């Protein structure tokens, strides 16, 4: 007697990459799990690297100051900061993993050819993230000298280790994420969610936000340092806009659609 087996039929995949809300949530859960797994594995390595490798590097700018050196006010502070530091190292070490997972979630509807073009930008995300970290660490000694300079005469400044290390880790991550944002713009453009022309029309806001970010995180009050800090961000954003415009032109050429990007918002397009 033959036994008939029934298999659950999969829903046909939308050629344009559209998914119902339930599948979007499942995709988000899957991507978050993989990104979190990468962070946890990186944190496991960070736990062993933190005391002898990472901590001395982060503490170096503070130790070069007068009365330098980190102080722990509570007995559990070293353990608490090592746990935070291990997770911080995990985020950095797993940056290629969670950058790819972010890309894969934002751009599920790309064709194979578009994915081939975009893979270069995915691999560019991790180096840009690390470049932001390196730039922040480069300005860290100047930051600490400026902060300590406000200590009144006759008083000593004992640097609290948890406060200092938390500040350093937040500063480095802020710059890393800022350098990663242009890659995210390119990802949204390849996904068809935003056009290069739309971004270009807001270039004044982009430049203002770059200078605002640099002004907030610039360690010195002089304008020259702020400008030097803002220039790499502005260059990366305009490079991303240029890539988006090229991709928009290629997409219109392949689809045969007319080009209306050059028109202003109050100008009528030909019918």
* 154-169 residue pLDDT tens: 777 788 888 889 989 9
Residues 89 and 145: their CA atoms lie apart, in Å, by: 25
Compute φ and ψ for 202, nearest 5 degrees.
-105, 25
Range of the domain at 127: 24-250
Residue 257: inside a domain: no
The 10s digit of each residue's pLDDT in 89-101 is 999 999 888 888 8
Joined together, the tokens standing for residue 157 give 């400044």
* CA 180 to the chain's CA centroid: 4
Residue 226: pLDDT over 60: yes
**What is the pLDDT, as a whole number, of residue 53?**
92
Residue 144: inside a domain: yes
Residue 16: inside a domain: no
Residue 19: inside a domain: no
Residue 260: inside a domain: no
Residue 13: inside a domain: no
* CA 218 to the chain's CA centroid: 19
* CA 233 to the chain's CA centroid: 12
User: What mean pLDDT is reported for the chain?
Assistant: 79
Residue 79: inside a domain: yes
Residue 209: inside a domain: yes
Residue 195: pLDDT over 70: yes
**What is the pLDDT, as a whole number, of residue 7?**
47
Give the relative orientation of helices 223-255 and 161-190 as an angle to the nearest 10 degrees: 30
The 10s digit of each residue's pLDDT in 38-85 is 999 999 999 999 999 999 999 998 887 776 678 888 888 889 999 999
Number of domains present in the structure of the chain: 1
Residues 136 and 34: their CA atoms lie apart, in Å, by: 28
Whether residue 57 contacts residue 88, with contact meaning beta carbons closer than 8 Å, is answered with no
**pLDDT level of residue 10 (50, 70, 90 thresholds):** very low
């Amino acid at each position: 007697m033959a036994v008939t087996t029934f298999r659950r039929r999969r829903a046909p995949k939308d050629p344009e990459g559209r998914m119902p809300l339930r599948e979007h949530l499942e995709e988000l859960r899957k991507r978050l799990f993989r990104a979190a797994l990468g962070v946890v594995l990186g944190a496991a390595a960070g736990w062993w690297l933190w005391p002898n490798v990472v901590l001395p590097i982060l503490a170096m700018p503070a130790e070069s100051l007068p009365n330098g050196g980190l102080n722990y006010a509570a007995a559990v502070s070293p353990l608490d900061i090592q746990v935070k530091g291990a997770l911080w190292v995990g985020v950095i070490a797993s940056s290629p993993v969670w950058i790819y997972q972010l890309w894969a979630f934002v751009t599920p509807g790309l064709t194979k050819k578009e994915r081939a073009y975009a893979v270069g930008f995915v691999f560019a995300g991790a180096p840009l993230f690390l470049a932001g970290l390196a730039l922040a660490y480069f300005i860290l000694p100047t930051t600490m000298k400026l902060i300590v300079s406000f200590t009144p005469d006759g008083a000593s400044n004992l640097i609290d280790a948890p406060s200092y290390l938390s500040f350093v880790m937040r500063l480095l991550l802020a710059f890393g994420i800022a350098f990663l944002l242009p890659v995210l713009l390119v990802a949204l453009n390849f996904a068809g969610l935003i056009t290069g022309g739309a971004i270009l029309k807001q270039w004044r806001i982009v430049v203002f936000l770059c200078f605002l970010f640099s002004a907030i995180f610039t360690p010195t009050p002089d304008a020259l340092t702020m400008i030097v800090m803002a220039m790499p961000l502005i260059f990366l954003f305009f490079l991303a806009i240029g890539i988006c415009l090229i991709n928009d032109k290629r997409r219109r050429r392949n689809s045969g659609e007319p080009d209306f990007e050059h028109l202003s918002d109050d100008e009528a397009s030909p019918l």
